[in-house]
Amino acid sequence: MNDTITAIATPPGEGGIGIIRISGKDALAIASNLFHPATGEALKEPEPQKVLFGEVRDPESRQCIDQVLLTFFKGPKSYTAEDVIEISAHGGTWITSRILELILGQGARLAEPGEFTRRAFTNGKLDLTQAEAVADVIGSASDKALSSALAQLKGGLSRRLNTLHETLLNAQAQLEAAIDFSEDGLTFQSREATQNQIQQVEKDLRKLVCSFRQGRIVREGMRVALVGKPNVGKSSLLNALLREDRAIVTAYAGTTRDTLEERARIKDIHIIIIDSAGLRDNPEVIEEEGIERTRLALEKADLVLVVFDQSEPLDDNDELLMNEVGEKPRLVLLNKSDLPSSWPPDQLNNFLAEEKPIALSAKTLEGFDSLEEALYQKAIGGERTGESVVITRERHRDHLQQAAEALQRASESLMEGLSEELVAVDVTLAMEHLGSVLGKTFEEDLLDKIFGQFCIGK
């Protein structure tokens, strides 16, 4: 962490601009050996956050590599809390690589993935939830994903968890005092008051845990599986949702033999649509593996689009289909509404008694507005938890779940009149889980795993 690190901070390839970042105690000295201001004066310590125009020159040959802009961010008022230099060069692959090579030749080390953000975390500029949000901002694939990541980056989740952590700290102080000074005749907070504190924190944690489904869908997208009998139009529906011919469509049943995943946007969220092989009894040998993959896609899906061909009579395979879907969240679609229906109203009502089917046509796109609105509501509408802060990572969910369970045990111990020592053990455990989310307590391999997923230069 004492090394001076450097990396190209912009994506590889040609572009209008390429940024090379340097961070560490020798950042300014290295830049001074390479950068020559247009004023002709030597670069000493420039005014922070002021952009300078000049040239980067090879210190040995004195050859000009590029005309650049240089910005100095003096620590601790920088992203990493260290001295940081950013050189904005023309965005050619050779130019940025050559400048990086010169910086490395001056003693800097190539940054590892996520090392700039890791230093920001280590130096107290960000907590761990905010550091993870940096990666989420970069990887955002929708407006809602970006808004959620920015809220976390600004400290929304951090403030919420720190408040809960502080409440537990106060409760723990009362418990510890009662343990240490129980025979001194001092007055402490009542067990009932401590229990109320613990129960309120547990309640808030469980609300956050419940927000995970919503948060994960916003961050990663909702996984939607298309299932139905062969030749009901699943692939045509996929193409219609994508607005391009992505899946092969033929008049022959069983054309789709494998699952096919594609992404689509609906308003300000994105979904992952999974086309799958048709489900039916007594499939051909070649279809069996595809059907097994369909069942796997069903298991992993957040929502199932159950597709029926209303132009064909009901049969046993339709019953099989509903049984395969089971209790998964679903929308029932009656495809081929442009053709005469073969489903009498009473038969339709009996078979789909508790469903609200959507009639549509993948051919004419009739009914697609209703489908897209229903998908949107399933993704973020009726499933809203009412939480202004949601959690988006499984790591957070697991720690907060374990913290809530520890507090439940602590509350039960208080109710049963057990000793403060036993209660304090579970309160301490809950605080450790909260600390793991925030980065107050962590293991080095956890940081390696988290920051190893970042891009180099961030």
In the chain, DSSP finds a helix count (H) and a strand count (E) of 16, 13
Q: What confidence tens digit (pLDDT) does each residue in 127-152 have?
A: 999 999 998 888 887 788 888 889 89
Residue 67 resides in a domain: yes
pLDDT of 94 higher than 90: yes
pLDDT of 394 higher than 70: yes
Give the dihedral sign, CA 357/362/363/366: positive
Q: Phi/psi class of residue 40: alpha, beta or left (left: φ > 0; alpha: ψ in -120 to 50)?
A: left
Distance in Å from the first CA to the final CA of the chain:
15
Q: What confidence tens digit (pLDDT) does each residue in 439-451 have?
A: 887 667 767 877 8
pLDDT at 147 (0 to 100): 85
Q: How many domains does the chain have?
A: 3
Q: What confidence tens digit (pLDDT) does each residue in 356-392 have?
A: 889 998 888 898 899 989 888 888 765 454 456 889 8
Shared-domain flag, residues 272 and 254: yes
Q: For residue 232, what is the DSSP state?
A: S
pLDDT at 51 (0 to 100): 94
Token look-up 């957070």 returns 396
Of 94-98, 174-178, 250-254, highest mean pLDDT: 94-98
Shared-domain flag, residues 255 and 347: yes
Shared-domain flag, residues 336 and 416: no
- What's CA 142's distance to the chain center, in Å? 11
Q: Which domain-ending residue is among 103, 122, 141? A: 122
Joined tokens for residue 383: 């499933």
Shared-domain flag, residues 223 and 363: yes
CATH number of the domain at 263, please.
3.40.50.300
SS3 178: helix
Q: Which residues pair with 89 in a beta bridge?
A: 18
pLDDT of 281 higher than 70: no
- pLDDT bracket for residue 293 (50, 70, 90): confident
pLDDT at 349 (0 to 100): 81
pLDDT of 254 higher than 60: no
CATH number of the domain at 95, please.
3.30.1360.120
Q: What element of type H or E holds 23?
A: strand 15-23
Shared-domain flag, residues 366 and 406: no
Residue 371 belongs to what domain range?
A: 218-381
Residue 127 resides in a domain: no
Residues 414/365, Cβ–Cβ less than 8 Å = no
Give CA–CA dist 447/113, Å, rounded: 11
pLDDT at 184 (0 to 100): 52
Q: Which domain-ending residue is among 362, 381, 400? A: 381
Enter the pTM of the model: 0.77
Tell me how many degrees the CA angle 390-198-194 measures, rounded to the nearest 5: 150
Shared-domain flag, residues 230 and 328: yes
Shared-domain flag, residues 374 and 394: no
Shared-domain flag, residues 233 and 371: yes
Q: Which domain-ending residue is among 122, 153, 181? A: 122
How high is the mean pLDDT of the chain?
85
Residue 337 resides in a domain: yes
Residues 24/83, Cβ–Cβ less than 8 Å = yes
pLDDT > 70 in the chain, percent: 89
Shared-domain flag, residues 107 and 145: no
CATH number of the domain at 178, please.
1.20.120.430
Shared-domain flag, residues 37 and 11: yes
Q: What confidence tens digit (pLDDT) does each residue in 152-203 have?
A: 999 999 999 999 999 998 888 888 877 765 555 555 678 888 899 999 999 9
Three-state SS for 108-129 is: CEECCCCHHHHHHHHCCCCCHH
pLDDT > 90 in the chain, percent: 38
